[in-house]
Amino acid sequence: AFATLSAFVCSSLVLHGWSFWPAVGATVILSFAGGAAVHAVLVRPLQDGPLLAATLLTAGLLLVVDGLDAWIWGSSPRPFPQPFAAGSVSIVGVTVGRRDVGALLVGVGAALLLGVVLRSRIGLGLRAAAANPVAARYAGIHVVRFTTTAWGIAGALGAVAGTLAAPLFGLRPSMLQLGL
């Protein structure tokens, strides 16, 4: 749902005169902030509560974000700007669409960047906070800060996924939900 919301935001920026890639960059930054804010305001207060409360929260967020998308942008599929040129290229004798190659390269680039982050000092803190929060706290790691950062990273990666998926599936509130 957050990936779809990010795709709608990116599309709106492009419709308001932004070039595609600066709009994607702004959307990724906004999505990082949104993911961190959702954790700080909604998830963290329920973190030590019953598992059912967190489960209901995530299901409720899905419904709220989908409803927000439909309310603001409508439920009909909308065109999404194509970030890559039409046509095809031949790679090792196999003909592949340029748009597919471009989406693959951006996805691989995002995954490589995530790999670099996870192997850095930040990544070590993220992994420690996820694996054993109590031991991480005793080791001087600010677990809440790293958990919030993880939610921000997830939001940013969701923005990349949403903007790559929208040209393929058509931009609509349920574009990334199976069976809808």
Residue with tokens 């090792």: 92
Distance of CA 72 to the CA centre of its chain: 19
| pLDDT 10s digits, 113-145 | 999 999 999 999 999 999 998 999 999 999 999
| pLDDT 10s digits, 62-117 | 889 989 999 999 988 888 888 888 888 888 888 888 888 899 999 999 999 999 99
- For the ranges 5-9, 57-61, 151-155, which has the lowest average pLDDT? 57-61
CA nearest to 152, candidates 30, 19, 17: 30
Specify whether the CB–CB gap between 156 and 28 falls below 8 A.
Answer: yes
| pLDDT 10s digits, 77-91 | 888 888 888 888 888
In DSSP terms, 91 is beta-bridged to: 94
CA distances from 77 to 19, 20, 106, 147, 167 (A): 21, 19, 24, 34, 11
